[in-house]
Structure 1
């Protein structure tokens, strides 16, 4: 990647300010940050441990849960440790290569997280609309291949963002008013034309998130049509209950993402610290809630987790 044209005094480092305007409260802000992060790690590692240990859970649905847990661990870990270093130790510097790596990794994993949610919607569609063929259509190897396709798609879509940034000049301003290296936040401090960066970021969000949400909506439209054809109300409830956890995860994942992106791009009247807090919530709330949601809503997983946590 091309070198950035940074300030002559320190040409290899950016400065992350944390949350501008709330510097005095950084220590207090770190409490929910660290709490949510610890709960997220415990919950997601528990899912990985239990599914790995229990052979009865070696099924497509639980393989997808493991993929979701890995993306949740990766998204929060790509942001929270550096934010805590800023809040606790005032370690605000980040190298150019470190900034590019963080930005690429967190955006790539976010796109992968979205791809996993689409695959989970497809899994629910097959389970309800073609239950007799579920075992033959969705095998573990096929789920692994779909996961690999999602990973490749994420890498290819996100790779241009650091390349576009590497072309920008940074004349004298190298202070990023954020807790992490967000693509648009870094582009905004450039003294060059960032039209390409803005356009690509918008197109990427529309294509990746827009396409994924469309596929999820299509899956659930087909699921609802299939459920309405069932005459038994009990069967209705049973079928829809299998989708409850996935719907909750979709809401917790996409709602903060969409709201954060809209405020970041179009909320000029919203205070910067509010925008930054909202952006961080996307990396804090879903990774913490997702294992809890699936632990509560999935009986088989709940029982296996209880087996390991409650035994003496």
Structure 2
């Protein structure tokens, strides 16, 4: 069937949690606002702290900064709209704004995947061939690799969005999500090309997620094998601690996604609101938690931060004693 007279929708309705009673709109919006504040403050702190502290401007921490910038951007582009829905009753988003949000949701998620690949490469070289690390991994090298990680998904996601724009949208304008994503939008499209568009986008998503994941798994398995072969127990512990933050961050990104995928594959179904909650958790929870991992699981950042706090405390005590 060819749709020639389909009027393009002017806006979409963000459904959010369909089963949520209006009496809980205030607490939910406050909770989401608190989540956004933690994402904004935590990731901005990491960016400012590494930028101001010259001793931390090393390859590993530059990757942390790129991830922090990504997380900050993702939270800023997704949370305000759902917060305004429950806080101010503003549930509508314009047609083009919805597609723009969809682009950034999938683009930033793909960038995170490739950035985790860069992080795994950094740890692989540092632990497996440490003598070559200062030569192979420099600030310039990491900057180039992170730039590539930002660039690779760009044309792919632009293609996905432009492909989705070719569809006629003649069903309801309800987005069964807390933000616009590809599945929610294209499920409102009509015509035989919908399947083609959805399968194409799925292939792009698998490329951006599974290709980096394959390298990440191989690199961390190799790293763990090498660490286990170390004869010095103290050396094993110290070496393992250098890649623990990266492993935590990678698990936070991939494990919930794999859980949802496996659950759907084996036929385990979630209720609508539980599915939305799971998507929010694996999309936004890592962005809020990652800065804590950077600060408390990375020795250089932790020690530098404690040193700064002690210095500030001493200065305050001296000023008080003088007064």
Fold-level match, TM-score > 0.5?
yes
State the alpha-carbon separation in 2 of the partners of residues 219 and 158 from structure 1: 27
Map of 2:104 onto structure 1? 105
Whether contact under 8 Å (1:125, 1:220) holds in the other structure is yes
In the TM superposition, residue 264 of structure 1 has moved relative to its aligned partner by: 7.3
Change in 2 beyond 3 A, CA 1:245/1:83: same
SS of 1:159 mapped into structure 2: helix
Q: 1:12·1:95 contact (CA, 8 Å) conserved in 2?
A: yes
Matched, 1:67 2:78: no
- Per-residue deviation, 1:196: 1.6
Query: Shift in Å at residue 75 of structure 1?
Result: 1.5
- Name the structure 2 match of 1:161: 160
Check whether the contact 1:184–1:197 (CA below 8 A) recurs between aligned residues.
no
Residue 32 of structure 1 is matched in structure 2 by: 31
Match of 2:220 in 1: 220
Partner of 1:162, secondary structure, is: helix
Counterparts of residues 9-28 of structure 1 (less than 5 Å): 11-24=9-22, 25-28=24-27
Residue 307 of structure 1 and its aligned partner are, at CA, apart by 4.7
Q: Distance in 1 between matches of 2:101 and 2:294?
A: 28
Tell me the distance in 2 between the aligned counterparts of 1:225 and 1:175.
50
Question: What is the RMSD of the two structures over their aligned residues, measured on CA atoms?
Answer: 2.2
Please say if residues 6 and 173 of structure 1, whose CA atoms lie closer than 8 Å, have aligned partners that are also in contact.
Answer: no
User: Post-superposition shift, 1:207?
Assistant: 1.6
Counterpart secondary structure, 2:16:
coil
Q: How many residues align?
A: 307
| Larger RCO of the pair (alpha carbons < 8 Å, separation 6+) | 1
Shift of 1:303: 2.8
Cα 1:15–1:93 shift into 2, 3 Å: same
TM-score using structure 2 length: 0.88
C-alpha displacement of 1:177 = 1.9
Deviates more, 1:144-153 or 1:32-41: 32-41
Unaligned runs of at least 5 residues, structure 2: 317-323
Change (3 A) 1:168 1:92: same
Aligned mates of 1:267, 1:29 — CA distance in 2: 30
Larger Rg: 2
Note closer, same or farther for the CA distance 1:283–1:228 as it changes in structure 2 (3 Å cut): closer
Shift of 1:200: 2.0
Partners of 1:100 and 1:162 within 8 A in 2: yes
- 1:87-106 mapped onto 2 (5 Å cutoff): 87-106=86-105
- Tell me how far apart the structure 2 counterparts of residues 170 and 15 of structure 1 sit (CA, whole Å): 14
Which residue in 2 is equivalent to 1:238? 238
TM-score by length of 1: 0.91
The CA deviation at 1:263 is: 6.1
Question: What is aligned with 1:251?
Answer: 251
Cα distance change, pair 169–244 in 1 and its aligned pair in 2 (3 A): same
Q: 1:187 to 1:68 in 2, by over 3 A?
A: same
CA distance in 2, matches of 1:205, 1:172: 25
Asked if 1:284 corresponds to 2:284, the answer is: yes
Q: Could you say what secondary structure the match of 2:152 adopts? A: helix
Matching of residues 107-256 of structure 1 within 5 Å = 107-193=106-192, 194-256=194-256
| CA positional deviation for 1:60 | 0.4
User: In structure 2, the residue corresponding to 1:14 is in which secondary structure?
Assistant: strand
Q: In structure 2, how many angstroms separate the alpha carbons of the residues matched to 1:47 and 1:266? A: 40
Following TM superposition, by how much is the alpha carbon of 1:31 offset from its aligned partner in structure 2, in angstroms? 2.8
CA offset at residue 134 of structure 1?
1.2
Choose 155-164 or 281-290, whichever is displaced more.
155-164
Task: State which drifts further: 299-308 or 126-135.
Answer: 299-308
Q: Is the CA contact (8 Å cut-off) linking 1:46 and 1:305 kept in structure 2?
A: no
